[in-house]
């Protein structure tokens, strides 16, 4: 910590990728620790990463692929913070969108750019739907949400072939434990790696947020909406259920059959696979941080599913069971485990 603090204050070291990476890692640790003990997020190191980015300037932030990746990571955290605090982070988020658009885009960063627009949409929704807005304003918001959902759908269609997830039956379960302890509705999906799986879940959370706004807009319009609006609401409910099922189907990829607390890779723990069993890298990553990917403060895929009012009967209980399991696996404080499922 002392070395990082010294580097941040040094006119030369503060410009290096290593210093920015160190501050980003501290920000990740800060979020994970807050989640484990149920404390409030301070986000001091995330704010420090944004300050370093501004200090470095555009030239240093785009001088190499590594620098670009770090820059994209900082902006992704900034967008996540805006979701977590229900604010648009003011000038920082506006600068973030401008910077991200100027950078070379990859699949992940394109989703971050879309997420910036979602932050603004949610801010507008809070103002319009919680006030006395005219029907015209509500319909405008509905159209904006529908357009953003179409953009998210296009993102999912455009992902690289290796990013496609695959359903599998290759998942060896312990005979002494009920199957539903690990699997929801007999569906298990396998991904390229944990990072890709997490990005897919971020996409799903974003779509759930957008579709929730669509439903809220339709519900805010006068009674007996048109048949078209009723159909749009029903389609939104069906889509959110599918997204919820996709998130649930990703849980075995993150957690495997792990039941005992600890972050070490135990040989007895099995993970789903397609043609060959997962390699050591996946096992180590899943054992150490797989569960955290499902409760990460800025997206919280499992918790996001709990917010769907039209969820299939029994699914909420299964998700609550998985959240309790994650709390046990990472030896979280009781208050933190309770917070995992709080609305």
Question: What pLDDT does residue 83 have?
Answer: 65
Residues 33 and 182 reside in one and the same domain: no
Residue 240: is its pLDDT beyond 90? yes
pTM listed for this prediction: 0.86
Domain membership flag for residue 69: yes
- Can you read off the two tokens belonging to residue 105? 């885009």
Domain membership flag for residue 45: yes
Nearest to 195 by CA among 279, 253, 280, 263: 253
Domain membership flag for residue 110: no
Residues 208 and 313 reside in one and the same domain: yes
Residues 213 and 236 reside in one and the same domain: yes
Task: Calculate the average pLDDT of the chain.
Answer: 86
- Please state the rounded mean pLDDT for residues 30-48: 66
Of 81, 104, 127, the residue that ends a domain is: 104
Residues 194 and 60 reside in one and the same domain: no
> pLDDT digit string (tens) for 275-320?
988 889 999 999 988 998 998 766 789 999 999 999 999 999 999 9
Domain membership flag for residue 44: yes
Q: Which whole-number Å values give the CA distances from 181 to 1, 255, 256, 288, 322, in the listed order? A: 41, 11, 11, 20, 8
- Please state the rounded mean pLDDT for residues 262-283: 92
- Can you read off the two tokens belonging to residue 115? 């997420």
Residues 202 and 271 reside in one and the same domain: yes
Question: What pLDDT does residue 97 have?
Answer: 55
**Rounded to 5 degrees, what angle do the CA atoms 3, 4, 8 make?**
120
First to last CA, the chain: 35
Residue 341: is its pLDDT beyond 80? no
Residues 260 and 155 reside in one and the same domain: yes
Name the residue with higher pLDDT: 207 or 36: 207
Question: What pLDDT does residue 229 have?
Answer: 87
Residues 166 and 67 reside in one and the same domain: no
- Please state the rounded mean pLDDT for residues 71-91: 66
Domain count, the chain: 2
Of 58, 85, 104, the residue that ends a domain is: 104
Residues 25 and 76 reside in one and the same domain: yes
Rounded-to-integer distance, Cα 39 and Cα 19, Å: 26
Highest-confidence segment of 23-32, 86-95, 118-127, 184-193: 184-193
Nearest to 20 by CA among 88, 80, 91, 68: 68
Of 84, 104, 124, the residue that ends a domain is: 104
Question: What pLDDT does residue 26 have?
Answer: 79
Name the residue with higher pLDDT: 297 or 260: 260
Residues 166 and 70 reside in one and the same domain: no
**Would you say 333 and 265 are in contact if contact means Cβ atoms under 8 Å apart?**
no
Domain of residue 73: give its range.
1-104
Please give the torsion angle defined by the CA atoms of residues 200, 201, 202 and 206, in that order, rounded to the nearest 10 degrees.
110
Least confident window among 75-89, 128-142, 235-249: 75-89
Residues 179 and 303 reside in one and the same domain: yes
Domain membership flag for residue 92: yes
Question: What pLDDT does residue 335 have?
Answer: 76
Residues 128 and 73 reside in one and the same domain: no
Domain membership flag for residue 327: yes
Domain membership flag for residue 109: no
Residues 129 and 97 reside in one and the same domain: no
Neighbouring CB atoms inside 10 A of 173's CB total: 16
Domain membership flag for residue 290: yes
Report the percent of the chain where pLDDT is more than 70.
86
């Amino acid at each position: 910590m002392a070395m990082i603090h010294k580097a941040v204050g040094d006119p030369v070291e503060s410009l290096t990728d290593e210093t920015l990476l160190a501050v980003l890692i501290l920000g990740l640790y800060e979020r994970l620790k807050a989640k484990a003990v149920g404390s409030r997020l301070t986000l001091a190191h995330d704010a420090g990463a944004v300050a370093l980015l501004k200090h470095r300037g555009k030239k240093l932030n785009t001088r190499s692929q590594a620098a670009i990746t770090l820059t994209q990571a900082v902006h992704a955290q900034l967008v996540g913070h805006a979701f977590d605090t229900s604010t648009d982070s003011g000038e920082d988020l506006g600068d973030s969108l401008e910077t991200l658009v100027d950078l070379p885009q990859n699949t992940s960063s394109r989703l971050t750019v879309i997420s910036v627009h979602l932050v603004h949409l949610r801010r507008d929704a809070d103002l319009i739907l919680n006030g006395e807005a005219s029907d015209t304003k509500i319909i405008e918001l509905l159209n904006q949400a529908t357009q953003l959902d179409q953009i998210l759908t296009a993102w999912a269609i455009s992902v690289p072939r290796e990013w496609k997830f695959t359903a599998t039956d290759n998942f060896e379960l312990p005979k002494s434990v009920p199957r539903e302890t690990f699997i929801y509705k007999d569906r298990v999906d396998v991904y390229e790696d944990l990072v890709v799986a997490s990005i897919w879940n971020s996409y799903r959370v974003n779509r759930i947020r957008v579709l929730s706004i669509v439903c809220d807009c339709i519900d805010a319009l006068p009674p007996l909406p048109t048949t078209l609006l009723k159909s749009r609401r029903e389609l939104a409910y069906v889509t959110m259920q599918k997204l919820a099922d996709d998130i649930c189907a990703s849980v075995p990829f993150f957690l495997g059959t792990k039941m005992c607390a600890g972050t070490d890779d135990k040989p007895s723990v099995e993970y789903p696979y397609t043609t060959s069993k997962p390699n050591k890298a996946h096992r180590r990553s899943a054992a150490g941080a797989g569960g955290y990917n499902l409760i990460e403060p800025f997206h919280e895929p499992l918790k996001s599913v709990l917010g769907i009012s039209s969820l299939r009967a029994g699914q909420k209980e299964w998700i609550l069971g998985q959240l309790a399991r994650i709390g046990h696996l990472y030896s979280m404080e009781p208050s933190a485990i309770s917070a995992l499922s709080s609305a």
